[in-house]
Amino acid sequence: MSTITKTTGNPALPRIVIVGGGAGGLELATRLGQNLGKKQRAEITLIDCSHTHIWKPLLHEVAAGTLDSHDDELSYLAHARAHHFRFVLGRLSGLDRQNQRVEIAAMVNERGEEIVPARSQAYDILVIAIGSICNDFGIAGVAEHCQFLDTTEQAELFQQHLLEAYLRAHAQGGVRNQGELDIAIVGGGATGIELSAQLHQATLLLSAYGLDNVKPSDIKLHLIEASPTLLPELPARMSEATVAQLKAIGVNLYLGERVVEVNEAGVKTQSGLFIPAATRVWAAGIKAPDCLRGIGGLESNRINQLLVRRSLQTTLDEDIYAIGDCAACPWPEKGPQASVPPRAQSAHQMASLAYENILRRLNRQEQKDYVYTDYGSLVSLGKYSTVGNLMGNLMGSVMIEGAIARLVYLSLYKMHQMALFGPFRVALLVISNFFRSRLRPKIKLH
Ligand SMILES: Cc1cc2nc3c(=O)[nH]c(=O)nc-3n(C[C@H](O)[C@H](O)[C@H](O)COP(=O)(O)OP(=O)(O)OC[C@H]3O[C@@H](n4cnc5c(N)ncnc54)[C@H](O)[C@@H]3O)c2cc1C
C-alpha cells in the first residue's frame, strides 16, 4: 500500500478529491467533510460541472413539470461551506496519474464567455463518481432527434417544450395536425415507465389549469421496448402489474419492438413499424461519460465504466476509487461476469464503503470488499400506483403495490436527504414541502 503524505496547501493534510457530486459522490463528500474536513485531518474537494445538485431519480418529474427543480435542488457552494469541504466548478477532462493531478476543462457560460479557465487539481486520493448518460448505441437519428433526461437542464428543456406545445395548440383552438402533441418514449425500464405515468398526469393537470382546448386524449403516449416484457430483470408479476396500469391510463405499449432509426417525424422499428411522434425521448440503456474511456491509462469496459476491484479501487491504481454508475464493480454473488447494477441504491451503498475504505487507507488498515445488497426495485406510476419488490435474506422477493410501495419509494429519497442533511433538517424539509405543496400549483406553469 502506498503512503499518503505529500500535500501542497497544508503539508500535513492528505488531499481527497471527489469528481461528481451526484447520488454517490455528494454523500461521500458530505461524510468526509463532516468527519475529516471538520477535524482538519484531510482537505476534501468536490468537483462537479454543475452549480447545483438534484437527485437524479427525480428528473422525470422535472421533465413532466410535476416537480419544480428549484424546490429540490441544492447549491454545492452552500452545502460545501456547511459541511467542511471545498467545491470546485468544472468538468473532468483528463487525468495525469504520474503527477496525481485531475485535469479540469474551462467552463463557459451560455454566451460562450469563459467563467473559469482550464485547470488541474492535485490529489492524494481520488474518487471518480461522474455517473452515466443515455446510450444511443449509435442508432441513426437518436442523437439529433431525441431528447434525453441525463441532466436537470435537459429535463427543464423538455418541460419547456411540452408547455410551449400545449400553449400553441390551445391558442390555435385545439390540435390541428394528427400527432402534433404525441410523445414516443424509447426504453421500457424504470425511467421510461415513470416518465409515461408522470406525463399522463401532467396532461390532465394542464387541461385542468385552463389549457382546455387541448383534451388529454389529444396526446398519445407511446412506450417502445425491445424486450417482449417491461422490466424484464424483475419478477413477472411486477411486469404484468405495470403493463396493466399503463394500459389503464391509455399508454400505447410496443413490446418486442427494436428501434432502428429516429427522425423528426417519429420512430422506426426493426419490424417495419413507424410510430409518429412530435416529441421523442430516449431512455434505453446507459453508458459512463466518454471522457472516462481509457482515462489516465485506467481500465474501462465497452460502456466506458472504470473497472474496479471489490474494494472500489480501480484495477490499476489503488489511489483512485470509482463509485456509482461510472464503476464496473464485480457482483460475484450474481455470477462471474455480473456487475453491480447502475442504481441509486448501489451509488448510496458504494459511497458508504468508499468512506470506510478511505478512512481505513489513511489509517493503513486493509480495505474492505463491497457487497451489494439488493433491497429490491420500485417503479412509481405517479399518482396512479407504485409497484415493486422488496428483497430480504429470509423472505426472498416480496411484491408490494399501492400505498406501502409508495412509502418505500419515497423513503429512498429520504435516505439520500438524511445522508446529506441529517434528521433535523430533513424533518424541516418535510414540513416546508407540505406547506409549499399547498401554496403552489400542482404543475409548473411557466
Ligand atoms: C429519470 C431517471 C430516473 C431514475 N430513477 C431511478 C429509481 O427510481 N431508482 C434508482 O435506483 N435509480 C434510478 N435512476 C438511476 C440513478 O439516478 C443513478 O443510478 C444514480 O443517480 C447514480 O448515482 P451516481 O452518483 O453514480 O451518479 P449521478 O447521480 O448521475 O451523479 C453524477 C454527477 O457527476 C457530475 N458529472 C458528470 N460528468 C462530469 C464531469 N465530466 N466532470 C465533473 N462532474 C461531472 C454530474 O453533474 C452529477 O452531479 C434514475 C435515473 C434517471 C435518469
* 342 CA closest ligand 1 atom index: 19
Whether 344 shows a pLDDT value over 60: the answer reads: yes
Q: Are 231 and 341 in contact (CB under 8 A)?
A: no
**b/e string for 65-89 if b means 16 or more Cβ within 10 A?**
bbbbbebbbeebeebbeebbbbbbe
Strands (E) located in 118-198: 119-122, 125-128, 133-134, 183-186
Q: Are 92 and 103 in contact (CB under 8 A)?
A: yes
23 lines ligand 1 (CB under 6 A): yes
86 lines ligand 1 (CB under 6 A): no
* 327 CA closest ligand 1 atom index: 26
Tell me the C-alpha distance between 40 and 33, whole Å: 9
- Quick one: pLDDT at residue 66? 87
Query: What mean pLDDT is predicted for residues 116-131?
Result: 96
Tell me the helices (H) and strands (E) count for the chain, helix number first. Answer: 10, 27
Residue 240 amino acid letter:
E
Task: Indicate the average pLDDT of the chain.
Answer: 90
130 lines ligand 1 (CB under 6 A): yes
59 lines ligand 1 (CB under 6 A): yes
User: Angle at Cα 180 formed by Cα 179 and Cα 184, nearest 5°?
Assistant: 60
DSSP classification of residue 196:
H
- Quick one: pLDDT at residue 4? 44
Residue among 224, 174, 221 at smallest CA distance from 198: 221
- Looking at 119-133, 209-223, 330-344, 377-391, which range is the least confident one? 377-391
pLDDT band at 11 (very low <50, low <70, confident <90, very high): low
pTM of the model: 0.93
**DSSP codes joined into one string, 322-362:** E-GGGEE-B-TTT-TT-B----HHHHHHHHHHHHHHHHHHH
* Helix, strand, coil percent values for the chain (each to nearest 5): 35, 25, 40
**DSSP codes joined into one string, 284-299:** S-EE--GGGTTGGG--
CATH class, range 142-284: alpha beta
DSSP classification of residue 432:
H
pLDDT in tens, 269-317: 999 999 999 999 999 999 999 999 999 999 999 999 999 999 999 999 9
* Residue whose C-alpha cell reads 441513426 in the numeric block: 140
pLDDT band at 190 (very low <50, low <70, confident <90, very high): confident
Residue 272 amino acid letter:
G
- Sequence spans of domains, the chain: 15-132+288-374, 142-284, 377-439
324 lines ligand 1 (CB under 6 A): yes
Q: Facing residues of 313 across strands?
A: 321
Mutate to test the pocket of ligand 1, among 28, 73, 102, 130 (most ligand atoms within 8 A of CB): 130
48 lines ligand 1 (CB under 6 A): yes
Residue 73 amino acid letter:
E
- Looking at 6-10, 206-210, 381-385, which range is the least confident one? 6-10
- Quick one: pLDDT at residue 403? 74
- Looking at 95-109, 131-145, 194-208, 396-410, which range is the least confident one? 396-410
388 lines ligand 1 (CB under 6 A): no
Question: Which protein residue's CA is at the shortest distance from atom 38 of ligand 1?
Answer: 130
- Quick one: pLDDT at residue 86? 98
List CB contacts of 239: < 8 A, sequence separation 6 or more.
Answer: 229, 230, 231, 232
Residue among 319, 334, 291, 307 at smallest CA distance from 132: 291
Whether 443 shows a pLDDT value over 60: the answer reads: yes
Domains 15-132+288-374 and 142-284 share a fold: yes
* Residue whose C-alpha cell reads 458530505 in the numeric block: 30
CATH homologous superfamily of 15-132+288-374? FAD/NAD(P)-binding domain (3.50.50.60)
**DSSP codes joined into one string, 117-140:** --EEEE-SEEEE----EE--TT-B
- Looking at 30-44, 79-93, 121-135, 404-418, which range is the least confident one? 404-418
379 lines ligand 1 (CB under 6 A): no
User: Angle at Cα 196 formed by Cα 411 and Cα 132, nearest 5°?
Assistant: 65
Q: Are 355 and 334 in contact (CB under 8 A)?
A: no
pLDDT in tens, 263-280: 999 999 999 999 999 999
24 lines ligand 1 (CB under 6 A): yes
Three-class DSSP category at 373: coil
Question: 363 alpha carbon to ligand 1 midpoint, in Å?
Answer: 31
* Residue whose C-alpha cell reads 478529491 in the numeric block: 17
